[in-house]
Amino acid sequence: MSKKPATPPPRNPAETRRRLVEATVGLILKQGYSATSVDQICSAASLTKGSFFHHFDSKEAIGLAAADWWGEMGTALYAAAWADPALDPLDQLHRFFDIMIGSTERVDTGPCTCVVGMLSQEMSGTSPDLRAACTRHLEDWTRNTAAMLRAAKEKYPVTRDFDPEETAWFLNCLWQGSMLIGKTRNTPEMIRANLRQARAWVDGLFITTAS
C-alpha cells in the first residue's frame, strides 16, 4: 500500500516573520547591516527567499523591522526601572543603570552591541527611513531617562542646575559610545565601568540625606 504524501505543516505567517526578523537582528549584531545579505538572513532563519519576499520587499524593509524589534525589546527591558510609580525616582535611575549593566553581563566574551546604534552608524547617511527609525528609538530612550531625571530633580535639591533632557542625551551618548568603543576592546568590562561612573555622576547631581 502506497504511503500518503506527508502533510505540510500549517503556515504560520507571524512565526515566519519573527524568525526572519530575529535572524536579521542576530546577523546585524554579529557583522553589521551592510555585511548582511538576504541570502544570509534566509539561511540563518532556515527559510526560503520566497518566504522572505512574501513578508519584506527589500533588505531595508527588514532592517526597519529589526530596528523596531530591538527598540521595543529594549523599552520593555528598561521599563522595569520605572514600572513602579511609587518607587523613589533615584531608585528608578539606579535600577535603570543596573539593567544596562546587567545586559552587558550576559555577554561573557566579545562586544556588547546595539542594533539601533549599529544601524545609526552605518545607514544614517544613506537611508532616510532607517535614520528616522533609529532617531525615534533613541528619542524614546532619552525621553524615558529624562522623565526619571526630572522626577528626581523635583524631589531632591540639586548640586547644580541641569536640564533633564540634555542630561538624558548625554547619558544616551555615553551608553552608545561605550558600546562602540567596547567593540574595539572586545570586552564589555569597559562598558560596565563607564556605566558605574555614570551612575555615580548622576547621584552627584542630587543632595540626599545619604550624601
Cell of 31: 557583522
- Supply the CATH classification number for the domain 59-203: 1.10.357.10
DSSP 146-190: HHHHHHHHHHS-BSS---HHHHHHHHHHHHHHHHHHHHHHT-SHH
Count of CB atoms within 10 A of residue 172's CB? 17
Report pLDDT for 72: 96
Measured distance CA(59)–CA(37) in Å, rounded:
8
pLDDT in tens, the chain (211 residues): 455 554 444 578 899 999 999 999 999 999 999 999 999 999 999 999 999 999 999 999 999 999 999 999 999 999 999 999 999 999 999 999 999 999 988 755 456 889 999 999 999 999 999 999 999 999 999 999 999 999 999 999 999 999 999 999 999 999 999 999 988 887 788 999 999 999 999 999 999 976 5
Q: How far is CA 109 from the centre of its chain?
A: 19
Indicate yes or no: pTM above 0.85.
yes
Delimit the domains of the chain by residue range: 59-203
